[in-house]
């Protein structure tokens, strides 16, 4: 069995903590067993490890999430990189082609695809293994997991089993059809009269089945060629392109806890605390949650059914029911990311000023982990001034290598080549000045420090 975890996601429904880089699965909001908080992706990876399944798993994600995944799960987690974001059909096709052509999996290998942000109990992973067994032994082309509904939700998709089918010996049911987001009344009827199940977004298939689907659609099975044509793949869901056209689908019921933590309303129910970060809830706050990633303290007084979340990107104060409408309002607040975790550490934007003559000034605090380095790079449109505030390391500017330490100031004019390596964890304040201060204005000459020294050093 091969497990494929889809790590997609846009940032809008959990603004301001999530953004295009930090999707909801990376937010450290859930209670971690060792205390403190963990993200959805850290939770599911921990559960996979406990179930012994992590060695069969690959993540499918965009390159922009690379640094975040490495930082949260470690650098050895295998990632299949999407060339661009193109919905679930393309992502699952990519995983199938990768397993076939790069990993060399056989056509009989059972592949199970699941969202990386499923919030489930450990029993779920037994159901996953059960599903894989069903796919191996049975005649179904596609296998799903259906959670037993605990209330008639109008927000979920429903799987309707065939009426005449009785459960097979392994407990799986033949699927009749699907109903997306019915009214609460309709959902109640579906559950009571048709044994409808919540669709958990899991898809299992023998690899050969998916390869045949691709071949029938004229899609190449060779990885390199496939990547070249990625931009021409239909931008549709796997449900639309494959599930709805599939004749023999089976569903394995899952009786444990399953929840979509896609809105502040649902996510805060699982926080296990009312406060993360700097702040205080006072004067009888009821069913109210505060998540504060700022250094600025937040005081809540006498609130009911309210969620308050704050990051350098923005601050949300919402009635919990109204928080479900968040997506409609955040587009006007999208701005450059104010905080990012990277492979080499993290940075935070402290200040941004656009002057009347068009000059922009961006002030950042940048942290580089011990042993890590920034690429050797230069910029077309900005100068930089760095003031080291803690830690030690070495720096190279235009080929000249020198040590850096607290208090050291480095001026980097436009076009000047520069890189830095942290011996101990190193922090500096950066003042960027120029036009168009965007992350993309960067020419990387060498990624590793060894390569930078070998190719570009002219001495110390």
Q: How many residues bind a second copy (CB under 8 A)?
A: 61
Residues in the chain: 460
For 234, phi then psi, to 5°, come to -60, 135
Please report the beta strands in 239-368, taking only residues with DSSP state E, as ranges in sequence order.
249-254, 258-259, 275-277, 279-282, 289-292, 298-301, 306-311, 314-319, 339-342, 345-354, 360-368
In the complex, the smallest distance separating the C-beta of residue 352 from a second copy, rounded to whole angstroms, is 7
**C-alpha to C-alpha distances, 306 to 236, 291, 318, 321, nearest whole angstrom:** 36, 12, 6, 9
In the complex, the smallest distance separating the C-beta of residue 86 from a second copy, rounded to whole angstroms, is 30
How many other C-beta atoms lie within 10 A of the C-beta of residue 198? 23
Pick between residue 289 and residue 372 the one whose CB is nearest to a second copy.
289
Q: Is 19 helix (H, G, I), strand (E, B) or coil?
A: coil
383 touches a second copy (CB under 8 A): yes
In terms of C-beta density within 10 A (0-12 exposed, 13-18 middle, 19 or more buried), how is residue 97 classed?
A: buried
314 touches a second copy (CB under 8 A): yes
For 372, phi then psi, to 5°, come to -95, 165
Member of 271, 389, 423, 453 binding a second copy (CB under 8 A) = 389
Of 3-42, which residues contact a second copy (CB under 8 A)? 15-16
Instruction: Report the distance separating Cα 210 and Cα 96, nearest Å.
Output: 7
Report the half-sphere exposure of 310 (CA within 13 A, side-chain side).
Answer: 18
Member of 139, 355, 440, 458 binding a second copy (CB under 8 A) = 355
395 touches a second copy (CB under 8 A): no
Member of 102, 280, 438, 442 binding a second copy (CB under 8 A) = 280
SS3 content of the chain, % helix, strand, coil (to 5): 25, 35, 40
318 touches a second copy (CB under 8 A): yes
In the complex, the smallest distance separating the C-beta of residue 430 from a second copy, rounded to whole angstroms, is 10
Of 398-457, which residues contact a second copy (CB under 8 A)? 406-407, 409, 411, 427, 429, 431, 433
In the complex, the smallest distance separating the C-beta of residue 60 from a second copy, rounded to whole angstroms, is 32
For 54, phi then psi, to 5°, come to -65, -25
For a second copy, what does the binding mask look like between residues 320 and 349, x meaning CB under 8 A?
A: -xxx-xx-xxx-xx----x-----------
221 touches a second copy (CB under 8 A): no
266 touches a second copy (CB under 8 A): no
Pick between residue 224 and residue 301 the one whose CB is nearest to a second copy.
301
In the complex, the smallest distance separating the C-beta of residue 322 from a second copy, rounded to whole angstroms, is 3
Segment lying near a second copy (by CB under 8 A), choices 161-169, 190-198, 250-258, 300-308: 300-308
For the chain, count helices (H), then strands (E).
Answer: 10, 31
Instruction: Report the distance separating Cα 344 and Cα 347, nearest Å.
Output: 10
In the complex, the smallest distance separating the C-beta of residue 269 from a second copy, rounded to whole angstroms, is 18
For 397, phi then psi, to 5°, come to -125, 120
Contact status, residue 111 vs residue 204, Cβ threshold 8 Å = yes
Of 360-379, which residues contact a second copy (CB under 8 A)? 361, 363, 365
358 touches a second copy (CB under 8 A): no
In angstroms, the first-to-last Cα distance of the chain is 53
Pick between residue 192 and residue 409 the one whose CB is nearest to a second copy.
409
Instruction: Report the distance separating Cα 7 and Cα 81, nearest Å.
Output: 10
Which residues here bind a second copy, judged by CB under 8 A? 15-16, 280, 282-284, 294-304, 306, 308, 310, 312-319, 321-323, 325-326, 328-330, 332-333, 338, 350-353, 355, 359, 361, 363, 365, 383, 385, 387, 389-390, 406-407, 409, 411, 427, 429, 431, 433
């Amino acid at each position: 069995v091969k497990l494929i975890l889809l790590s997609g996601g846009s940032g809008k429904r959990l603004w301001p903590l999530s953004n295009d880089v930090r999707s909801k699965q990376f937010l450290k909001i859930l209670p971690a067993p060792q205390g403190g908080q963990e993200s959805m992706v850290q939770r599911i990876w921990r559960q996979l490890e406990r179930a012994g399944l992590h060695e069969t798993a690959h993540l499918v994600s965009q390159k922009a999430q690379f640094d975040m995944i490495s930082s949260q799960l470690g650098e050895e987690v295998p990632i299949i990189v999407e060339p661009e974001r193109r919905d679930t059909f393309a992502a699952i096709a990519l995983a199938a082609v990768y397993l076939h052509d790069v990993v060399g999996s056989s056509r009989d290998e059972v592949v199970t695809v699941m969202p990386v942000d499923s919030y489930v109990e450990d029993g779920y992973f037994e159901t996953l293994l059960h599903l894989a067994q069903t796919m191996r032994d049975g005649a179904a082309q596609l296998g799903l997991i259906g959670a037993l509904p605990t209330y008639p939700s109008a927000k979920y998709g429903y799987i309707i089993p065939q009426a005449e089918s009785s459960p097979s010996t392994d407990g799986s049911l033949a699927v009749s059809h699907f109903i997306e987001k019915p009214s609460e009344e309709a959902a109640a009827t579906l559950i009571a009269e048709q044994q409808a199940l919540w669709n958990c977004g899991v898809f299992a298939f023998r690899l050969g089945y998916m390869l045949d689907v691709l071949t029938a659609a004229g899609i190449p099975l060779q990885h390199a060629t496939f990547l070249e044509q990625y931009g021409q793949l239909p931008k549709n869901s796997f449900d639309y392109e494959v599930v709805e056209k599939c004749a023999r689908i089976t569903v394995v019921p899952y009786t444990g806890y399953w929840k979509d933590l896609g809105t502040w309303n649902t996510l805060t129910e699982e926080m296990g605390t009312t406060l993360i970060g700097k702040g205080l809830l006072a004067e009888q706050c009821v069913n109210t949650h505060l998540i504060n990633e700022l250094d600025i303290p937040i005081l809540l007084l006498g609130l009911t059914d309210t969620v308050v979340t704050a990051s350098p990107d923005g601050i949300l104060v919402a009635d919990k029911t109204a928080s479900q409408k968040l997506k409609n309002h955040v587009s006007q607040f999208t701005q450059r990311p104010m905080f990012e975790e990277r492979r080499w550490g993290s940075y935070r934007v402290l200040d941004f000023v656009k002057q009347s003559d068009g000059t922009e000034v961006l002030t950042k605090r940048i942290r580089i982990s011990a042993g890590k380095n920034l690429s050797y790079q230069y910029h077309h449109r900005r100068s930089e001034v760095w003031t080291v505030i803690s830690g030690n390391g070495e720096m190279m500017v235009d080929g000249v290598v020198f040590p850096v330490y607290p208090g050291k100031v480095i001026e980097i004019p436009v076009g000047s080549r520069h890189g830095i390596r942290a011996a101990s964890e190193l922090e500096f304040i950066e003042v960027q000045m120029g036009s168009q201060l965007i992350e993309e204005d960067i020419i990387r000459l060498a990624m590793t420090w060894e390569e930078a020294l070998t190719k570009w050093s002219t001495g110390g």
